[in-house]
Structures are given as C-alpha cells and as structure tokens.
Amino acid sequence: MEQASHIPHPHNRVEPTGSRYTAFIAAHEWRWVIIVSCALVLLAFLPLVWVALRGTPGYQFMGTLHNYLDGATYLSKMRIGEDGGWMVTFQHTPETHNGAYIMVIYPLLGQLANATGVPLLVMFHAARVIASLLMYAAIYQLSASIWMRIEARRVFFIIAAIGGGFGWLFGPLLGMAEIPDLSVPEAFPMFSTFANVHFPLAIGCLALLIGMLITALRPAPLQDTAFDNGWWIASILSVLLSLIYPQTLVPLGGALALYALTHFLQTRRLDRRVLRWTLAVIVPAIPFVLYYNLIVVYNPAMQNWNAQNVTSAPPIWTWAIALGLPLVVALPALWRAARRMELDGDRLMMLWLVCIFIAMYAPTNIQRRFSVGLMLPIAYFATRAVHDFWYARIKRRARPLLAVFIPIIAVTPLLMLFLPVLPAMMGNPETAAVIFLDSDYVRAYQWIDTRTDSDDVVLASPDGSIWLPGWAGTRVVYGHQYETLDADIKLGQVTNWFSASDPAQCAALIAQYDVRYVLRGGRENALGQSVCFDALRLVIQFDDVAVYAP
C-alpha cells in the first residue's frame, strides 16, 4: 500500500469556502468551454480574416500563413482526394510512383470538398476550425476526468490550451529560431491550431484517451467492473491516432507498458485491468505499425521520402525555455510524482512525460514528431502544484498573480500567430516567404490547371513550384525538401537550369522529366537570366509571368 503524500490529493484536500465541485461536466461548464474555445479559434483566424478583408493588391494569398511549405503539401493531398483518390502520392516530384495510405485525413477532406462543392482552401480551414474546437473540448474533458473542482479544471484548461514559454524573449536574445515554443507547434495546443488539421485532432484524441486511462486505472475503481466496458473506445481512439498521427502512440504505448511493469513489480501480481487497457491501446496500432514499416522498406518512393523526412528535436535544454512558467509552476508536483509515483494519475502522466523525451531524443529521423501533446502532462503537473502546493503560499495574492501569469504564458502563441502576416501588414507582402505570390502566378496556375492532368510536369523555380500541385494539380521538378524525391539533386538541377549560360545545359532536364510547361516570372528571373528560354516557345503571357513549352 502506498504512503500518503504530505501534499494532499486534490480530490481529498480541504478547499476554501465557496469552492465548487462536480463529478460531471455541468451545462454551465460547457458554456464556458464553448465561449473560450470559440474565442481562441476566432483569435487564431484573425490574421486570415485581416488578409481576406484588407487584401494585398498585386499579390495573392496562397492559403496558409503558418508552415506554408507543409501547407502546400496538404493542399496537394486534398487535391488527390478531390480527384477521387485515397492513396497519397507526392505531387512535388516529377516521377510517377506507387502511393500509400498515409495522412489519409487530407484525401478525405478532398473527397468531402468534391462531394460538397466547397473549395479546397475553404474545406482546409473549416476542418481546422472543427479540429480546434474538438481539441479544446477534449482537453476540458480530460480535466474533468482528473479534478472534481471546477476551478482546477479551468486552470488546467487554460495552461494546456494557451501555455507557452519564453521563446519570445530568448529566441531573439540567443538568435535561435529552434526554441520549441517558436518551432514545434505539435507540442503546444494553441500553436498547433495555426498549423494544420491533424495536429489539433491528434492532441484531442490523446486528451480523450489519457482521460479514459486515468479514470480506469486510478485506485478507487480497481474493483469496479463498470469501468472495464470502455476499453473498446480506447481502441477506437488508438486506431484514429494510428491514422492521424501514429508517432503519438510510441511514447504513450511505452508509458503504458512501463505502468504495467511497475504495477507488477510493486504488487507481485499481474493486474488484468491494467493489462486489458494497455492491450486495448497497443494492439490496434500493431497492424498500422507493420504497414508503415513495410511501405518505407518496399515502396521506393516512400523509402526516399522517409530518408529525407528528418525532423530533429531541438537541443534538450531549450525545453526549459519553451515550457517557461508552466514548467516552473509544475516543479513541486513533478518532484512529488518522481518520488512517490502514486496511482492517482501521477504515475501515468510522469511515465508519459518521460517517454515523450526518450522518444524525442532516441536516434531516429523523426524525433520532433514524438512531442505531440507534451503540454498536457506539463499542464497536469502545473495544476496539481497550483492547488496542492502554491495556493497555500500565495492565496491572498492568487488572483493578481493569475492575471499576470496568463498573459505571460500567452505571449509566444500570440507572437507566432501574427508573425507570418506582419510583412503584409507593413505593406511588403513580397517579403513574406511564399505565403503571398504575384497575382500573375495564380493566373498562370489557373491556365495550366485547365490544360494538364496530375502526371504532367511543370518546371518553375522552387518558389514558383511549391503551390503548383495544389493550385494546378500538376507535378513539378522540385517543390519540397521532403516530398521531392532526391530533393537535393533536383534542387541543384532546377537552380542550374534557371541560371544556365550554356545552351548545352538546357535540353537534358526537359527531356529527363518530360516537362510540358515552364514558368518564367520574377521568382525564376531571381535565379538568373537563363539562356534556356531561347529554345522554348512562348505559349501565353500573364503580364510579368510567362508560360513556355518545349
């Protein structure tokens, strides 16, 4: 039997007069969650609304403000679904190749767009809204699975939802863009809603799954068979995570395996409930793990993509900066959990947190991918510490300190929200990477779209190529560092072609990739004044952007 902690459990401690408790989520709580969640989603879409209302004369907003390179690939995968496909192929490479069932959420959205007649970009952002709202609801559901006190639930929700660190301060001071709260959106719920659809969906599924596991495995119901009936829901969530973001199940599966092992070593018996819930999460993921491993071994295109898809974790010390005040607040609860490893949720959360960091710094090429949902255990321990440690010490100053705490942890998410659109706000959209393109490019894309199919290849500069698969449905010679096969080689070929001074350098690339059209605009001219255009035929001119054919 475990020793009682000197810090009382939040379910048992005596709280100040006026505290509110409930075993369920009351209607007024859901109203609060809906209002706050909608406010956060509206805030996340403010830059898009600003772009839509103000516009950028002479420039076209291409569809995504954050992580535009990957945003362009999501759009290309949705285009596959819109054309009736389910298997993902990489459209940012000229080679035709066998596809695979990966990132199926985006072909699914494309299928929905085709069925409803909704434009792809509208469908993408509508899905972001829905995914964000579902994530916030799931985070609150997790808090209700842990705490009966409404105030504790809201503290957890706020820290988990908007929590960030000091990247806004130390990033400029150290000249580092790779501080996690500036560069790893999948670890921070609000930041994740800026990036795509699958990050918030994965965090939402994780929150629901963790809530079920904490409820099922806490000491009180270990002899209550009613809790056994929900294991199949955990299996469904495991399948969804396997489809949406399979890397999330590596640290969670490791934590459950360690939980079962430590429970066995402590009790010297195999607890069937712990085993049942562990298997309910791990077993459904096994076929997906086998499939994903097989395709990167036997599908050459997927093998090449996997080798290039290197997402290394930032230096481990940068997490102390990135987690900032939530980590500082969580320290007493983390220390307590490390010493006692109690079964009231601390053990599972601590093991999950440890397994996240082990997975992130294991020798793989996708280290950063294992950080999904990292803010959830941090917020858990921060909330435990607030109510079990800090409150007794700061209760007379709790509200003023909270009024300072919330804005500080929200600075980095707000900075990252508005940073991509600042050039447009300052009247210089051309400096905002390739988030905005000359309107003439879009006119050329639309013309190409009506005259090509998905296997035709267009040659353009890297900047001109990134949006072509999504906007025109064609392939390109080079368009993405991961999804262009042999990306470094093709990047060199494209750069050399657009800066060629010897006509002998020109014909080989056109023939090698059976290029149908070549774009020439400001982005291409910036690479050099190529003599290769002399051997091509001008097909159509859109002011500053021309379309050539061999």
What pLDDT, in 10s, does the model give residues 245-289? 999 999 999 999 999 999 888 888 888 888 999 999 999 999 999
- Tell me what pLDDT residue 12 has: 40
Coil, helix or strand at residue 148: coil
Per-residue pLDDT averaged across 370-397, rounded? 91
pLDDT value of position 17:
34
pLDDT at site 11: 43
3-state secondary structure 240-285: HHHHHCHHHHHHHHHHHHHHHHHHHHHHCCCCHHHHHHHHHHHHHH
Mean pLDDT within 316-328:
97
Of 458, 537, 467, 461, give the one whose Cα is nearest residue 496: 461
Full DSSP string of 79-129 = HHHHTT--SB--TTSSS----B--STHHHHHHHHHHHHT--HHHHHHHHHH
d(CA 315, CA 331): 21
The phi and psi torsions of 457 (rounded to 5 degrees) equal: -115, 135
Residue 375 has pLDDT above 60, yes or no: yes
pLDDT at 14 over 80: no
| Residue 373 near residue 241, CB atoms below 8 Å | no
Identify residue 100 by its one-letter amino acid code: A
**Tokens 């103000």 appear where?**
54
pLDDT, one tens digit per residue, over 351-373 is: 999 999 999 999 999 999 999 99
Can you give the pLDDT at residue 427?
Answer: 78
What's the CA gap between 503 and 221, in Å, rounded?
78
Q: Which of 114-123, 149-158, 160-169, 218-227 has the lowest mean pLDDT?
A: 218-227
pLDDT in tens, 183-242: 999 999 999 999 999 999 999 999 999 999 998 887 754 455 555 678 899 999 999 999
Which tokens sit at 261? 């092992």
Better pLDDT: 380 or 231: 380
**pLDDT at 223 (0 to 100):** 52
Is the per-residue pLDDT at 6 higher than 50? no
Split at pLDDT 50, 70, 90, the class of 58 is confident
CA distances from 101 to 84, 294, 309 (A): 14, 12, 17
Q: Identify the pLDDT of residue 54.
A: 81
Q: What pLDDT shows up at residue 271?
A: 82
Q: Which of 22-26, 272-276, 532-536 has the highest mean pLDDT?
A: 532-536
DSSP string for residues in 384-422 = HHIIIIIHHHHGGGHHHHHHHHHHHHHHHHHHHHHGGGH
Q: What average pLDDT does the chain have?
A: 91
Share of the chain above pLDDT 70, in %: 94
> Which strands sit side by side in the sheet containing 457-459, from one edge to the other?
475-476, 457-459, 515-520, 545-549, 537-542
Beta-bridged to residue 545, according to DSSP, are 542
Please give the pLDDT value at position 228: 63
Which amino acid appears at position 242 of this protein?
Answer: S
Question: Any idea where the domains of the chain sit in the sequence?
Answer: 27-44+119-421, 438-549
Q: What is the pLDDT of residues 464-505, one digit of tens each?
A: 999 999 999 999 999 999 999 999 999 999 999 999 988 888
Amino acid 19: pLDDT: 47
Q: How far apart are the first and last CA of the chain?
A: 79
Integer Cα distance of 249 and 207 in angstroms: 12
- Per-residue confidence (pLDDT) for residue 224, from 0 to 100: 54
Structure tokens at 503: 């006509």
At 1, the pLDDT band (50, 70, 90 cuts) reads very low
Q: Which of 347, 327, 141 is nearest to 263 (CA)?
A: 347
Q: Residue 123 and residue 110: Cα distance in Å, rounded?
A: 8
Query: Residue 115 has what pLDDT?
Result: 96
- Span 383-391, average pLDDT: 90
Percent of the chain with pLDDT over 90: 77
